[in-house]
C-alpha cells in the first residue's frame, strides 16, 4: 500500500478531504508562484476496507471560478480512464471525468489494483494571476463504485450516507519564499546606511 505524506513542500503533496471513508482525497504538488505557475492536482479514492478494490467514479473537479486553467489530464487506471473531450477542460473545472479500473478473471490477466487510497486521476492547474489567495477545489460526483470481492462484482455507493465529496486548496503567493525575502533584506540594508 502506498503512503501519502501530507507536508507543504515543493516536492511533497498537500491533502485535504472530507474525512469520509468512501470518497476522495485532493492533493496538490506545490504552492503557486511566478517562478512555479503550475501545480499537479491529484484525485485519490479512499474506500471502506470491507470492499475488495475501487471500481470507478464519474465526477467533476471545480476550482471555484478562479482565473486558472486545468490541462494535461492523465489516465491512471486500467480502464477507460478520463474520457476524451472533457467539458470545461482548460477552464476552472473539468466535467465528466470517468475513472475506472477493470477486474477480470486470471484467464484475461487483468486484475484491479487493490491499493487504498488509490490514485485515480491527475492534471495540471496553472495561472498567470499571482494575487495572493487560496483557490478552493472540490469534487461533484455522479457515480462511485467499488468491487465487492475478487470475483469482479461491483456495488454503487454514491447514494449511501458514507459517501462524501472532497475539498482541497491551491495556495497562490506573489513570490517564492526566497524571492520574497530578498527585497525586504535590500530595503533593510539601505535603511541602515
The pLDDT tens digits for 105-140 are 666 778 889 999 999 999 999 999 999 999 999 888
CA–CA dist 99, 139 (Å, integer): 13
Please report whether residue 4 resides in a domain.
no
Please tell me the predicted confidence (pLDDT) of residue 20: 55
What length does the chain have? 193
Please report whether residue 38 resides in a domain.
yes
Residue 44 has pLDDT above 80, yes or no: yes
Whichever domain contains 124, its CATH number is 2.60.40.680
The pTM of the full predicted model, rounded to 2 decimals, is 0.75
State the cell numbers at 37. Answer: 505557475
The parent domain of residue 42 ranges over 14-192
Decide: 71 and 89 in contact? Cβ < 8 Å. yes
Please count the structural domains in the chain: 1
How high does pLDDT run on average in the chain? Answer: 74
Residue 18 has pLDDT above 60, yes or no: no
Cα end-to-end distance, the chain, whole Å: 58
Amino acid at each position: 500500500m502506498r503512503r501519502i505524506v501530507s507536508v507543504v513542500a515543493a516536492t511533497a503533496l498537500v491533502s485535504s478531504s472530507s474525512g469520509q471513508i468512501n470518497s476522495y482525497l485532493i492533493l496538490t504538488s506545490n504552492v503557486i508562484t511566478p517562478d512555479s505557475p503550475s501545480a499537479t492536482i491529484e484525485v485519490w479514492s479512499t474506500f471502506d476496507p470491507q470492499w475488495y478494490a475501487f471500481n470507478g467514479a464519474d465526477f467533476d473537479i471545480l476550482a471555484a471560478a478562479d482565473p486558472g486553467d486545468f490541462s494535461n489530464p492523465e489516465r491512471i487506471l486500467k480502464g477507460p480512464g478520463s474520457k476524451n473531450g472533457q467539458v470545461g477542460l482548460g477552464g476552472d473545472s473539468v466535467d465528466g471525468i470517468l475513472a475506472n479500473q477493470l477486474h477480470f478473471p486470471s484467464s484475461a490477466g487483468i486484475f484491479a489494483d487493490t491499493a487504498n487510497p488509490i490514485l485515480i486521476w491527475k492534471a495540471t492547474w496553472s495561472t498567470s494571476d499571482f494575487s495572493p489567495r487560496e483557490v478552493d477545489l472540490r469534487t461533484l460526483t455522479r457515480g462511485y463504485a467499488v468491487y465487492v470481492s475478487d470475483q469482479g462484482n461491483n456495488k454503487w455507493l454514491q447514494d449511501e450516507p458514507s459517501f462524501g465529496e472532497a475539498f482541497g486548496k491551491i495556495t497562490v503567493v506573489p513570490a517564492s519564499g526566497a524571492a520574497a525575502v530578498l527585497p525586504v533584506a535590500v530595503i533593510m540594508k539601505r535603511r541602515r546606511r
